[in-house]
């Protein structure tokens, strides 16, 4: 049996935070293996431009068959499988290097958007069947998460590399620090959710066809 390599990436903390659930969850799975696959995790900087350099360095080092980039989406209550990356940086806050691009293309001559090649709805179905709140998201934002998602899909275009992006909620300790008490998810639940996403990405030859769109 051919063993597939899955690259999981997570981000360093940003915007003054002390922790980022995307990296805490990804690194918990570093070295994990299952039937026909093994996982390697890498940390990415929360910086426009440099993050895609770091991503491609990780891809070149790991030689993955599947790449799942993971990011924090504070305020969301579920594990979000991102459908589309768009070719624009429009930052509401500065990145960790102090950059705050506005209305800039990520790749000047790139297409307007790329779609994920992960089996999004199959992953969502599997997560829900196991009791995890999950859904397909129609926007990855216009901050560094979308930037690396677009860069990843641009690199994967025309190749056999399966790739996509998953957003995860705040951790409970992050939510507790905020007066609005946004939704959160325990780290172990995020880790277990990513395990399911990896297993489905490895085994699903095609996605399922069922409703997963949005009305707004």
Domain count, the chain: 1
Range of the domain at 155: 4-203
Burial 163-182 (b: 16+ CB within 10 A, else e): bbbbbbbbbeebbeeeeeee
In a domain, 208, yes or no: no
46 is catalytic: no
In a domain, 28, yes or no: yes
145 is catalytic: yes
Q: Is 131 left (phi over 0), alpha (psi -120 to 50) or beta?
A: left
Q: How far apart are CA 187 and CA 75, in angstroms?
A: 16
CATH code, domain carrying 47? 3.40.630.20
CB-based contact 141:84 (threshold 8 Å)? no
In a domain, 81, yes or no: yes
Catalytic residue among 145, 147, 177, 210: 145
167 is catalytic: yes
In a domain, 210, yes or no: no
In a domain, 152, yes or no: yes
In a domain, 109, yes or no: yes
In a domain, 211, yes or no: no
pLDDT tens string 70-107:
999 999 999 999 999 999 999 999 999 999 999 999 99
pTM: 0.96
Degrees, nearest 5: CA angle 170-173-176? 90
In a domain, 75, yes or no: yes
* Banded pLDDT at 216 (limits 50, 70, 90): low
Catalytic residue among 47, 82, 180, 206: 82
Catalytic residue among 167, 173, 177, 206: 167
pLDDT tens string 171-200:
999 999 999 999 999 999 999 999 999 999
């Amino acid at each position: 049996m051919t063993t597939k390599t899955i690259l999981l990436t997570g981000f360093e903390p940003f915007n003054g935070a002390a922790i980022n659930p995307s990296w805490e969850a990804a690194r918990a799975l570093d070295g994990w293996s299952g039937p026909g696959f093994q996982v390697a995790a890498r940390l990415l900087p929360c910086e426009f431009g440099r993050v895609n350099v770091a991503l491609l360095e990780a891809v070149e080092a790991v030689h993955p068959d599947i790449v799942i980039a993971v990011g924090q989406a504070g305020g969301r209550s579920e594990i979000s499988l991102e459908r589309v990356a768009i070719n624009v940086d429009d930052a509401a806050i500065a990145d960790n290097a102090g950059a705050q691009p506005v209305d800039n293309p990520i790749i000047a001559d790139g297409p307007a958007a790329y779609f994920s090649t992960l089996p999004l709805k199959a992953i969502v179905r599997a997560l829900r069947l196991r009791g995890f709140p999950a859904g397909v998201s129609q926007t990855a934002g216009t901050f560094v998460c979308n930037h690396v998602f677009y860069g990843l899909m641009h690199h994967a275009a025309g190749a056999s590399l399966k790739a996509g992006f998953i957003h995860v909620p705040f951790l409970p300790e992050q939510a507790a620090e905020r007066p609005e008490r946004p939704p959160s998810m325990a780290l172990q639940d995020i880790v277990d959710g990513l395990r399911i996403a990896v297993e489905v990405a490895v085994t699903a030859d095609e996605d399922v066809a069922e409703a997963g769109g949005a009305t707004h």
